[in-house]
């Protein structure tokens, strides 16, 4: 039976210890559905603080995201957090989606402005009758039902940000609008994460910021994605991975090692936890956990 929101994720993350969380995306077919639930079941024993489910561009996965997060709420011990974006939706449609989440027993939302269909570097145009800023979506979610809200953060700055300082101002505004915690885009230098945290703290805001971790299992794919979202793959990391070019197993092993080292540095430096981008697979995340000595 689905229960009420209880203790919020923001409160849990602030309570001490370390938060570990996993991100999934809605499956496209039956095979993807099976793979997703295999990953969820494999990761559940690790008692994550929460698991999040992404939301397709322009609302393309709306029904699937509601269905998957609702099923997690009903059938597992884990707290689901559903993503929601402003892209392609009117305010009334966003209210309807929030109502659907509430009815499904989902009480935490990741509120995102979202990217244009042309990609994160494209000019932003709001939907007629819709919202323009993530802060507005945070306020809407907080005012409707009993939602607790997370938001996105960008250690290297959003691709369209004027500067790192302006980007920090945006995150601060989302916190002041009611966001309880933030999750970062993927990055590969701990210094970039700690720099973001310092900029936010210098502005008098103590919102917990969880670092987002993406292990490099395919260097070319990660570099393409990094160029799109503004996440740089350091030369040292490229050299380490490229040294095993042609040996997929060795590339994977080195990519896991790089991710584990980053996780260790982040935790040692005071990060409140780790958020893993799983790509709906559990194996890489579990391998990193093994290196971190995180027990189920």
Q: Residue 17: left if φ>0, alpha if ψ -120 to 50, beta else—which one?
A: left
C-alpha span between 157 and 168 (Å, rounded): 8
Q: Which of 186, 188, 185 is closest to 234 using CA atoms?
A: 188
Catalytic residue among 11, 23, 95, 180: 23
Query: Is 23 a residue of the active site?
Result: yes
Question: Which residue shows structure tokens 């030369």?
Answer: 235
C-alpha span between 134 and 119 (Å, rounded): 17
Residue 152 three-state SS? strand
The DSSP string of 164-220 is HHHHHHHHHHHHHHT--EEEEEE-S-HHHHHHHHHHHHHTT----EEEEE---S-HH
C-alpha span between 120 and 107 (Å, rounded): 27
The CB density around residue 162, as the number of other CB atoms within 10 Å, is 11
> Where in the sequence numbering do the catalytic residues fall?
23
């Amino acid at each position: 039976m689905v229960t009420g929101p209880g203790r919020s994720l923001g409160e849990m993350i602030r309570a001490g210890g370390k938060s570990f969380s996993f991100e999934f995306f809605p499956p496209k077919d039956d095979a993807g559905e099976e793979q997703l639930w295999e990953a969820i079941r494999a990761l559940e024993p690790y008692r994550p603080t929460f698991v999040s489910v992404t939301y397709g561009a322009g609302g393309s996965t709306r029904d699937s995201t509601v269905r998957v997060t609702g099923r997690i709420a009903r059938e597992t011990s884990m707290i689901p957090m559903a993503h929601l974006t402003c892209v392609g939706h009117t305010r009334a449609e966003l209210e309807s989606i929030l109502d659907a989440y509430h009815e499904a027993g989902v009480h935490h939302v990741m509120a995102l402005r979202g990217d244009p269909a042309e990609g994160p570097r494209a000019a932003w145009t709001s939907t007629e009758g819709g919202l323009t800023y993530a802060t507005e979506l945070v306020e809407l979610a907080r005012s409707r039902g009993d939602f607790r809200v997370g938001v996105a953060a960008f250690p290297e700055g959003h691709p369209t940000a004027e500067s790192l300082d302006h980007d920090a101002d945006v995150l601060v505004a989302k916190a002041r609008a009611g966001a309880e915690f933030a999750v970062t885009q993927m990055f590969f230098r701990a210094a970039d994460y700690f720099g973001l945290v310092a900029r936010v703290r210098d502005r008098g805001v103590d919102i917990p910021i969880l670092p987002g971790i993406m292990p490099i299992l395919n260097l070319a794919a990660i570099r393409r994605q990094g160029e799109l979202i503004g996440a740089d793959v350091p030369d040292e990391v490229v050299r380490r991975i490229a040294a095993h070019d042609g040996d997929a197993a060795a590339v994977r092993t080195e990519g896991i090692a790089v991710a584990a080292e980053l996780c260790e540095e982040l935790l040692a430096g005071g990060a409140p936890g780790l958020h893993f981008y799983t790509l709906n697979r559990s194996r890489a995340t579990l391998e990193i956990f093994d290196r971190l000595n995180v027990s189920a």
